[in-house]
Amino acid sequence: MRTWWPDGAKRGAAKDRPDVGDIIGHDFKPWRVMEIRDSPLRDGESTWHKPYMLHLRPAHLDTWRTAMDEDIHGRVVGMRWPILGEHYPVCVKCGDLTPCREIVATETAARSAENATRFETAGVCPECEEVVTHRQQSVTWQENVVAILGPPVTFHLRSKCFWGAYEYEQKWSREYPDRPLRFHCGGDVVNHGDGTYECTREGDCPGPTARHRSMSVCRDCCNPRPRDCHPGPNSTNRIQPQLLHPQEGK
């Protein structure tokens, strides 16, 4: 259960922006949406999601009153909300929406213990649990942030293991925020038809195969037909894309 989702809320009915009167699940409690209003973009925010202010009230309280101490207000950007009906299941022990905090904590602890064992053997990819050979492309982190004091962590770079490495780097970067990343970039990348790319992070970009804040294709080389790219003379960071961080001992 990587992301908590209340019982009774259908994922297909989720909304990026709820309507006034909806009941949503938030922090294990049901809330009635009282008001929604637009919020201006802040410096550096992406235009992909339009921010808004949200006024919520506990769903069991009267809705006609203008203000209550239990109400909460917050600014929201890019959140997907679970929508509940007027009848929703709650835990009889603690009153939370189900699954409640206690159940989630128990399941998370069990899953974390099981997951840690996959990081305890050097040279074994935690994603597929197979030995990484010198002929296979791989990536290694010397710091093991899952099994503390464990061996270095090595993932295959093949497709079925790549996202395991991607998620591990997210955990690793929280412990080492000043270290350069391999699979993440906060810049905006533009790919050209001649195999080159440009990133707004320039020299700090780990490469075109990294996950970027936004990704697009150059309009000049895609209309009317692709494969004819001629970036301007001021283009920066025009580097031939290569496989990201191949195994040093290949």
19-62 pLDDT, tens digit each: 999 999 999 999 999 999 999 988 877 777 789 999 999 998 87
Q: How far apart are the first and last CA of the chain?
A: 37
Residues forming beta bridges with residue 25, ordered by sequence position: 30
Q: What is the DSSP letter of 172?
A: H
What pLDDT digit, counting tens, does each position of 86-143 carry?
A: 999 999 999 999 999 999 999 888 887 778 888 999 999 999 999 999 888 899 999 9
Predicted confidence band at 79 (pLDDT cuts at 50, 70, 90)?
confident
Q: Is 201 within 8 Å of 226 (Cβ atoms)? A: no
Tokens of 237: 């960071």
Quick: pLDDT tens for 175-204.
998 888 888 777 787 777 666 777 887 777
The pLDDT assigned to 240 comes to: 39
- pLDDT tier at 249 (50, 70, 90 boundaries)? very low
CATH 2.30.30.30 fits domain 11-109 = yes
Name the residue ranges covered by the structural domains of the chain: 11-109, 120-175
pTM, two decimals, is 0.55
- The angle subtended at Cα 163 by Cα 238 and Cα 11, nearest 5°, is 115
Residue 28: other Cβ atoms inside 10 A: 18
